[in-house]
């Protein structure tokens, strides 16, 4: 990526962040983002097809960190870094993890989990149902945590049953997951 392209993307990301915290997501238009970023609409569309793509690009590192819960307890450090960031930026996290943006981020996490499950077990049946459950569980825990403030995350190893994935021997498959459990402080 050229230096100019990187600079343009950075301007778009900064403009998006400014707008997402000052307007409702549904009210933000691509023309608003282009104006605040001081780039032309055609330039904006060269980089991103829509505002959802900008949202996901801005939240990519958070989603990747949350995806690490599927790696089991060995991913505790990476996930803890993301959780610490979310906790330190609670007001912004509440704005992003609830409502329309939260639904879009949860769906993106579910898609990433499904791709990872398929990558880890390509001979298995599609894992959409399980991926949706994993993403919903992670986002439900995050939302509860952000609402109450009096809970912390702990990592406990467990096997997540994958009822819609059947292994080559036709036996149900389980996957290691770092169970992100809420407990009182």
Mean pLDDT of 45-54: 97
- The pLDDT, as a whole number, for residue 103 is 96
**How far apart, in whole angstroms, are the C-alpha atoms of residue 183 and residue 160?**
19
Secondary element (H or E) of residue 25: none
- The pLDDT, as a whole number, for residue 122 is 65
pTM, rounded to two decimals: 0.80
Q: What is the pLDDT of residues 113-162, one digit of tens each?
A: 888 877 766 666 567 777 888 888 888 888 888 887 555 555 554 555 55
Q: What is the pLDDT of residues 5-39, one digit of tens each?
A: 899 999 999 999 999 999 999 999 999 999 999 99
Q: What is the pLDDT of residues 88-119, one digit of tens each?
A: 998 999 999 999 999 999 999 999 988 887 77
| Nearest residue to 95 via CA among 12, 180, 17 | 17
């Amino acid at each position: 990526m050229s230096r100019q392209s990187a600079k343009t993307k950075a301007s778009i990301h900064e403009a998006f962040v400014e707008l997402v915290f000052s307007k409702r997501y549904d009210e933000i238009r691509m023309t608003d983002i282009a104006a605040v970023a001081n780039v032309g609409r055609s330039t904006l569309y060269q980089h991103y097809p829509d505002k959802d793509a900008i949202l996901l690009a801005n939240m990519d590192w958070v989603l990747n960190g949350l995806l690490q819960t599927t790696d089991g307890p060995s991913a505790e450090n990476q996930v803890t870094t993301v959780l610490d960031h979310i906790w330190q930026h609670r007001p912004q996290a509440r704005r992003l993890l609830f409502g329309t943006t939260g639904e879009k981020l949860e769906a993106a996490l579910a898609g990433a989990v499904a791709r990872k499950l398929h990558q880890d077990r390509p001979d298995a049946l599609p894992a959409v149902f399980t991926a949706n459950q994993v993403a919903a569980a992670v986002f439900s825990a995050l939302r509860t945590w952000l609402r109450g403030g009096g809970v912390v995350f702990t990592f406990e190893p467990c096997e997540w049953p994958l009822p819609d994935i059947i292994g080559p021997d036709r036996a149900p498959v389980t996957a290691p997951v770092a169970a992100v459990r809420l407990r009182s402080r």
